[in-house]
Amino acid sequence: MIYSFAPYVNSKTEILILGTMPGIASLEKQEYYAHKRNHFWKIMYTLLGELPVSEVFEEKIKVLESHKIGLWDVLHYCERKGSLDIHIKNQKENDFETLFKNYPSIKKIAFNGKESHRYFTKKFGHIKGITYYVMPSTSPANTMTFENKLKIWATILG
């Protein structure tokens, strides 16, 4: 059984980015999007005008927080061989009812990939007052170019 991380949100968070479950590299380092070829941090830093990307995870989180962006995963735990979402089984979702009650400033959810959106809407449907964006996965398994991912991810900041 593998477990996701605690959410990185605060009272100012307006945009919540949701993955499905951290991959192997992220679980080993205990940091979101730790795989060297994952485009997540490069996309965020580029869109937020904060380049170069920090090597320090806590600084990365501070950059997101300063732009009212939070991070979490849809799943609390699951069984999975490898890092691909298609291998997930015996999963349990995180407690989003409590999260949204405690952080009412969240108005947008950006799903990092179709699977996180699928797991979320299957359990929670559409939450009133929150706009959903299904973004291309930043994972190296998604072969879309960085430039195309960046262009689509830019829509959440509009």
pLDDT tens track for 102-117: 999 999 999 999 999 9
Tokens representing 125? 């449907």
pLDDT score, position 86: 78
Q: Give, for 73, the enclosing helix (H) or strand (E).
A: strand 69-73
In this structure, how many other beta carbons lie within 10 angstroms of the beta carbon of residue 139? 21
Residue 144 has pLDDT above 80, yes or no: yes
Residue 155 has pLDDT above 90, yes or no: yes
Reported as half-sphere exposure (CB side, CA atoms, 13 A), residue 41 has a value of: 22
Proportion of the chain above pLDDT 70, given as a percent: 99
pLDDT score, position 34: 97
Confidence label for 157 from pLDDT (cuts 50, 70 and 90): confident
Q: Using a cut of 0.75, tell me whether the model's pTM lies above it.
A: yes
pLDDT score, position 83: 80
Give the residue-averaged pLDDT of 24-45. 96
> At 119, which amino acid appears?
Y
Say how far apart CA 72 and CA 151 lie, in whole Å: 22
Question: What residues are paired with 73 via a beta bridge?
Answer: 19
Say how far apart CA 116 and CA 42 lie, in whole Å: 20
Mean pLDDT check: name the lowest of 49-58, 75-84, 87-96, 145-154. 75-84
Query: What average pLDDT does the structure give for the chain?
Result: 96
Structural domain harbouring 118: 2-157
- Helices and strands in the chain: count of H runs, count of E runs: 6, 7
- Catalytic annotation on 38? yes
Catalytic residue among 38, 94, 102, 148: 38
Proportion of the chain above pLDDT 90, given as a percent: 94
> At 39, which amino acid appears?
H
CATH number of the domain encompassing residue 107? 3.40.470.10
- Confirm if 17 and 107 have CB atoms less than 8 A apart: no
Residues in the chain: 158
pLDDT score, position 82: 83
Tokens representing 119? 């797991």
In this structure, how many other beta carbons lie within 10 angstroms of the beta carbon of residue 140? 14
Number of structural domains found in the chain: 1
Say how far apart CA 71 and CA 2 lie, in whole Å: 18
pLDDT score, position 41: 98
Tokens representing 113? 């990939």
